[in-house]
Amino acid sequence: MQAKKIDIPEKAQIVIVGGGIIGCSLAYHLTKFGCKDVVVLEREQLTSGTTWHAAGLVVSGLLSDETSTDIFTYGRDLYSRLEEETGLATGFKSVGYLQVACNEERLEEMRRSAAFMRTRGINCNEITVDEVREHWPKAKLDDVIAGFFTPEDGRANPVDLTMSLAKGARNQGARIIEGVSVTGVHKEQGRVTGVSTDQGDIEAPFVVNCAGMWARQFGEMAGVNLPLQAAEHYYLITDDMEGMHRDLPILEDPDSYAYYREEVGGLMIGLFEPVAKAWNVDHIPENFSFGEIDPDMDRMMPFLEKAYERVPEAIELGIRKFFCGPESFTPDLAPLVGEASELENYFVACGLNSLGILSAGGIGRLLARWIIDGRPDWDVSGINVNRFHNCQRNPKYREDRLVEVLGKMYEPHFPNLGMSKARNVKQSVLHERLLKAGAHFNESAGWEIADWYATDGKPGVVERYSWGRQNWFADHEAEHHAARNDVVLMDMSFMSKFLVQGNDACKVLNQICCNEIDVEDGRIVYTQWTNEAGGLEADLTVTRLARNEYMVIASDTTHGHVKMWMDRNIPKDSHAFVTDVTSSYTQLNIHGPKSRELLKTLTSVDVSNEAFPYLSSQYIDVDYARVLAIRVTYVGELGWEFYIPSEHAIQVYDRVVEAGKAFNLTHAGLQTLNSLRLEKGYRDYGHDIDNCDTPLEAGLGFAVKLDKPDGFIGRDALAAQKAEGGFKRRLLQFKLEDAEPLLYHAEVIYHNGEFAGYIRAGAYGFTVGAAVGLGFVESDDIITADNVNNDLWEIEIGNKRYKALASLRPLFDPTMERIKC
């Protein structure tokens, strides 16, 4: 019998593939914001992928960035009013959310996060053990030292919530069509033009991949990289338990990797086990709808036994349901959202890491604005889909990394704690040399990067992660002082490097860059890239190598975004070509007051200040190699960056290390790079500054040339902002008056006793003798130097406020004498 023909439109403005809660939320918000010509295509039925079996938790967890809090609070508020708008119940109820801390380190983390969340509209407050017991009398609390309670958080029915969003979208003009499989993606000249389905083709200038755990496979149809992997995910429901009722708060016990809530009179125990298992690494079956996986009781029993210890009565009850269903996870536990770098107007919203229900409202709103306005209005530097590299979608990488990502959601988030699985993906040519020098490696964007160096001649090992001073703190201090007093060597090969070549290279880059890059050959320009609204898109250097050749140097974490920004903003008919040369060059930096004396012993080139001035580059000889040497700094000291053809890297490294013995050369890692740059007040895109900040607010106006003859992207918006005269929002540098506390990120800033902002990034400033950090502050009035220098500034750390010195100028070497010597 021939299948029934389903009517689909021939054209639409936006086609959304996937009818889970994310796809329906996006359709709801697109139509809410005025884009009515929206089609949602679902292969089976709405919610049939992973939405239907979600636990429906709408809880805030421990959050420490604006984007996560905005996504959560927007969604929670939407769900609370959606039923009134659509007439369909969502099941949302604010039953409260209770987290317990069982040790001092966990308590410290919760206090830090709670303070930040309260400033973002999340009413998370510390309570006593007795108060925890009042909320959850069935819980065993012998080991608990404190709790944190958020009364507005709660639970929803995932299916009902999705149907309510779908109705809201339909009411505003969207077409939601079930039973239609998308079989292909159409594209022309690098831009998406529509989709093929088993019911015919749909022409569309925008396509959005909301296909859940199938998103990676659907992305492959269009050549889009989505490193997403499904995992077995478990929860258990007991028979009826006395005292269980629907108003009981959701209880989370991160040290047991478990959460607890009422479910039809019984107890639900959800698990985020520390050793997880991937599901169908090669291919997710297309016909797996409303599906379940046979639970592996033997593998899960140790985790269940640990979870039962929190509510011992449950172990005596029968098991009504032991459920296993797949959920999809990303390598860094952040969502995949935004426009794919490989295909223009192909957008993505997937990889919600088992948080799809609580994230759907905010993600739908964020992506709808992004599509309609052409740019996001929230910070997306940490969730942008273009942050991953192609190798990270490989089956082995996904399977190996998946083992630990579930547990990472509940493990402490220590500042320097990275992933342990799927490591050594990308290594510098010098990796083994650095290991022998005592390096302790951490991972960033797949790269193995020296974080710090042990001084005992053995590879560095973290004895115990902590929010306090760890065992390597003294080694870090020695590196820091070596940079200020002698000379340090840093392997920075992970930095992203792009050649821009062609007759129009200068013209097109000058349109992208805020600063003037039509400079003499050999000159380096520090510049920002902004969007049409003046928001920052990149913060980097551009070196003019020749008339028609530039090298763009950016951080490892912005690699994909920087490449994509150039691809999107260099006209296709221009004679300008971008080549990624990151792997071609090993980057070694030497910095410190003795760096010039060391360099003199390495090359025949005159490296005096007159012959080799600050912000210039030259090709120099080092042993048998020709090296591009750039005199620039990110640490606030005299120094050079060497760009070495990788085949010469070991030779040059050995020569530098040998010659450096006479100058007390010390290896230094990322911890020291961070503490040095924060003393100097240097910015880091994706941490201190992001797409919601402008360079003028960030104190980078010196690198913005508003009078360039042909302007640049974002010029008019920045000119208008400058014309307003003064800023009510500014990035300030802070130093604590007390030498003991440590700053990391998200510590709350108070100005004259009132909330003013938070620390974007912090470290210990060994030169200035206390913790330092950068943070944006806001005021009802224009922020002046007098306000900054004379008012009362405090920073909250672990429930205590500490006085701080605030500054608009760098606290270390504000006149740049050390750099320009």
Give yes or no for residue 347 having a pLDDT over 90.
Answer: yes
Average pLDDT over residues 500-517: 98
pLDDT 10s digits, 268-327:
999 999 999 999 999 999 999 999 999 999 999 999 999 999 999 999 999 999 999 999
Asked, for residue 778, whether it belongs to a domain, the answer is yes
CB atoms within 10 A of CB 296: 12
Asked, for residue 260, whether it belongs to a domain, the answer is yes
pLDDT 10s digits, 124-143:
999 999 999 999 999 999 99
4 falls in which pLDDT band (50, 70, 90)? confident
Maximum C-alpha span of the chain = 86
Residue 176 has φ and ψ, to the nearest 5°, of -115, 115
Asked, for residue 742, whether it belongs to a domain, the answer is yes
508 falls in which pLDDT band (50, 70, 90)? very high
CB atoms within 10 A of CB 293: 17
Helix 158-171 / helix 356-373 crossing angle, nearest 10 deg? 20
Residue 640 has φ and ψ, to the nearest 5°, of -135, 150
Q: Which of 296, 329, 362 is the last residue of a domain?
A: 329
Average pLDDT over residues 660-668: 98
CATH number of the domain residue 184 falls in: 3.50.50.60
Strand order across the 14-17 sheet:
175-178, 38-42, 14-17, 206-209, 346-350, 336-339
Asked, for residue 205, whether it belongs to a domain, the answer is yes
For the record, the structure tokens of 217 come out as 């496979």
Give yes or no for residue 483 having a pLDDT over 90.
Answer: yes
Quote the CA–CA distance of 16 and 161 in Å, as a whole number: 18
Give yes or no for residue 1 having a pLDDT over 60.
Answer: no
Quote the CA–CA distance of 745 and 771 in Å, as a whole number: 12
Expressed as residue numbers, the domain containing 809 is 726-815
Quote the CA–CA distance of 87 and 167 in Å, as a whole number: 9
By percentage, how much of the chain surpasses pLDDT 70?
A: 100
Average pLDDT over residues 437-456: 96
Q: Which of 306, 329, 352 is the last residue of a domain?
A: 329
Could you give the number of structural domains in the chain?
A: 2
Quote the CA–CA distance of 243 and 746 in Å, as a whole number: 38
Q: What is the pLDDT of residue 458?
A: 87
Q: Which of 277, 309, 329 is the last residue of a domain?
A: 329
Give yes or no for residue 55 having a pLDDT over 50.
Answer: yes
C-beta separation of 183 from 42 below 8 A: no
**Which residues have CB under 8 Å from 178's CB, separation 6+?**
19, 42, 44, 45, 46
2 falls in which pLDDT band (50, 70, 90)? very low
End-to-end CA distance of the chain: 84
Helix intervals (H) in 181-264: 215-221
Asked, for residue 476, whether it belongs to a domain, the answer is no
Q: What is the pLDDT of residue 302?
A: 96
Asked, for residue 173, whether it belongs to a domain, the answer is yes
Give yes or no for residue 408 having a pLDDT over 80.
Answer: yes
Helix 158-171 / helix 21-32 crossing angle, nearest 10 deg? 30
CATH number of the domain residue 738 falls in: 2.40.30.110
pLDDT 10s digits, 766-785:
999 999 999 999 999 999 99
151 falls in which pLDDT band (50, 70, 90)? very high
3 falls in which pLDDT band (50, 70, 90)? low
For the record, the structure tokens of 13 come out as 């403005």
Residue 703: strand, helix, or coil: helix
Asked, for residue 349, whether it belongs to a domain, the answer is no
Q: Angle CA(218)–CA(219)–CA(221) in degrees, nearest 5?
A: 70
Which DSSP string corresponds to 466-489?
A: -SS--TTHHHHHHHHHHHHHSEEE
Average pLDDT over residues 389-410: 96
User: Taking the model in full, what pTM does it have?
Assistant: 0.97
Q: Angle CA(394)–CA(53)–CA(230) in degrees, nearest 5?
A: 5
Give yes or no for residue 720 having a pLDDT over 80.
Answer: yes
Asked, for residue 253, whether it belongs to a domain, the answer is yes
